[in-house]
Structure 1
Amino acid sequence: MKQYDLSVIVTAHNCAQHLTSCLDSIKLALGDKFSQCEIMLINDSSTDATGDIYQQFAKGQSNVILYNVAYKNIGKVRNFGVSKAQGEYITMVDGDDQLQAGSMIEVIDFLGSHHPDMLITRLTEVRNNDVPAVSQALQPKPITTNAAIKKYLIHQAFQAHFIGKFIKRSILLHCKFPNYICYEDSFAFPEVLKSCKKIYLSATGPYLYFKHGNTLSSDISEEKIHLCRKGLDQMSLVLQGEFRFLQVCHWIEFVNRNHLTISKWKDRGSIKQNIEDVDMLPFLLHPNVRISYKRKLIKVKKLIRHW
């Protein structure tokens, strides 16, 4: 039996600079629904004041639970949070982001009245701390699983981030995150999508995604490129050829960005094969493939000729 309507999992590693604003925004976003939700604060190996800020926020609130872990691994952190959660639904918040005031009240009401497997909401990107003054009402519309997969692969309506999504805990318990330092979401999300039969998509949402500059995924290393490759392999395995040309777009982008590194790998053959197997004319004529990827395919085919 559920203990809470929603578990809000807040993850942080050395986020003290932004964490107080994040936690205050969660409380304002939930309003009078605060007690119906479990707030899980997970501090992973922080050396700044993150732990102190978490402890102060949790003080005297029985629905706020603080966990200190030493994983230094976001995949392990997410699995830990899911395993401990007691809410019917789970949503995730990064410690350097925020939620819009009052915005979670209608989300919780919607989850309770419609019982989706997953509600996907739009992320509002915030640059230079230019936070929108007023949040827009939730606009949830039903979408089929296949249509959701297609929109995910096109990467315009939403991406693999687990922030801004509200997912049944039972589904996340089944779809484990890999023990990755980044790109854990890209690996896990295709399986979550396929596991959801009742999905709603909103063109608005409560989540304020702050663009602070360097992040785990923007500071690219060869290790992270390998993890990205594993995520793409998993996508191909889980989706098994559905929307093949849209999946290929992800491989094209991967090679286009990282071809100098990949060209030195001994096991690059399968990556090359994914590109070489693309039938040019149908791909170029496909209505759902963006023109930018049609151009990049021609470029990437030239890049891999001497691999």
Structure 2
Amino acid sequence: MTDSKVFLSIIIAAHNSEKTLSGTLKNLQDACGNNFSGIEVILIDDSSNDSTGEIIRKFSADHTQVQFFKVNFQNIGQVRQFGIENSRGDYITMLDSDDLMKHGSLPILVDFLKEKRPDMLLTKLIEVRELSNIDYKWQNQEPKKLSRDEAIMRFLIHKDIQAHLIGQFIKREYYLENIIPSMTCYEDFFVFPNILSSSQKIYFLRKGHYFYIKRSGSLSNSPDRQKLTNLIICTEKMTELLEKKFFPLILCHWLDVYLKHTKLLQKSDEMDIVRKYIRETWTFRFLSSPNVRLSYKRKSINLLYRNIKKSL
């Protein structure tokens, strides 16, 4: 590992990723333009039993900017926290072992970070289902400065900003103040709202650089009891953290929890927690809020109607 000053740490967690990791690492080189100046790559093999470790060892042997670790956590939250603790950059970004980035994008973004020194540079992830549809060409654009409240509003209404750590550039000091929990999913949602609400200098890149590959059978498409529990924990934490003026928008997230996971909730003692917030959507404050989309108000009214009908 070179002793030169590290400005950006790129953390990649991998578990049984032999089918995608080589392509991701090749793409990382293209995103850097083979210019790793001021960049370190932290590659972490977590409990793989395929050729993931061999792919990482070969890549690290060919690049002095790479740190390679082998761990046995079987837990994405622990892996990411481990990567943060072993990073040296002023900024941290994360790359999943099956995702991709636009060619030549990273040096330009690093230059922006060096010039503006934001607390966060947030980017809109480009969701992709067919790799053949990807356009890797980078079109440079100036990130837009957001106020803290505007950034929180965009996050809460899922406009451009979601609770992802991948593809985002965040000062390392904020990660050190917000420990990523030992969760197998939603570990990013657990810390993101707190980092966002603590930040003052926030920039947003509308046309992002990061391709988020949506694969069938992925964790995000496979709900289960543990995932639901984590989601409720994170949504409650966000509810307690953010200021009251954002409460109507937070209630939209509780509506999503209820409507998307009704069957799992019916077999859970967590239903009472969710119902408490659903009842809040039947208030004048929620239904009259100009920030709440009409579609959510309709969902709330439909639930109220169903609830009244059941009680008759």
* Correspondences of 1:136-215 after superposition (within 5 Å): 136-215=139-218
1:208-259: CA deviations, max 9, x gaps?
A: 1111212122211111111111110111121142311100000001001112
Q: TM-score, normalised by structure 1?
A: 0.94
- What amino acid is aligned across from residue 29 of structure 1 in structure 2? A
- What amino acid is aligned across from residue 113 of structure 2 in structure 1? L
Shift of 1:122: 1.5
- What amino acid is aligned across from residue 179 of structure 1 in structure 2? S
CA distance in 2, matches of 1:268, 1:211: 29
2:248 is aligned to: 245
Is contact 2:8-2:40 (8 Å) kept?
yes
Shift of 1:270: 2.7
Identify if the C-alpha distance between structure 1 residues 143 and 2 changes in structure 2 by more than 3 Å, giving closer, same or farther.
Answer: farther
Unaligned stretches of 5+ in structure 1?
Answer: none
1:40 is aligned to: 42
Stretches (4+) displaced over 4 A: 302-307
1:249-301: CA deviations, max 9, x gaps?
A: 00001001112222332343232111112344442332221222112112333
1:75 is aligned to: 77
CA distance in 2, matches of 1:174, 1:257: 32
Is contact 1:41-1:67 (8 Å) kept?
yes
Match of 1:288 among 291, 307, 312: 291
CA distance in 2, matches of 1:16, 1:100: 22
2:93 is aligned to: 91
Identify if the C-alpha distance between structure 1 residues 71 and 6 changes in structure 2 by more than 3 Å, giving closer, same or farther.
Answer: same
- What amino acid is aligned across from residue 266 of structure 2 in structure 1? S
Is contact 2:102-2:210 (8 Å) kept?
yes
1:122 is aligned to: 124
CA distance in 2, matches of 1:27, 1:257: 39
Report SS of the residue matched to 2:219. coil
2:261 is aligned to: 258
Match of 1:18 among 5, 17, 20: 20
Q: TM-score, normalised by structure 2?
A: 0.93
1:63 is aligned to: 65
Report SS of the residue matched to 1:59. helix
Deviates more, 1:239-248 or 1:185-194: 239-248
Deviates more, 1:258-267 or 1:49-58: 258-267
2:111 is aligned to: 109
Report SS of the residue matched to 1:205. coil
Shift of 1:76: 0.6
Root-mean-square deviation over aligned CA pairs: 1.9
Aligned residues: 307
CA distance in 1, matches of 2:116, 2:8: 14
Report SS of the residue matched to 2:226. helix
Shift of 1:46: 1.1
CA distance in 1, matches of 2:34, 2:307: 57
Identical amino acids, percent of aligned pairs: 37
Shift of 1:102: 0.3
Unaligned stretches of 5+ in structure 2?
Answer: none
2:51 is aligned to: 49
* Correspondences of 1:269-284 after superposition (within 5 Å): 269-284=272-287
- What amino acid is aligned across from residue 109 of structure 1 in structure 2? D
Shift of 1:26: 0.9
- What amino acid is aligned across from residue 187 of structure 2 in structure 1? E
Deviates more, 1:208-217 or 1:173-182: 208-217
Is contact 1:121-1:164 (8 Å) kept?
yes
CA distance in 2, matches of 1:262, 1:56: 46
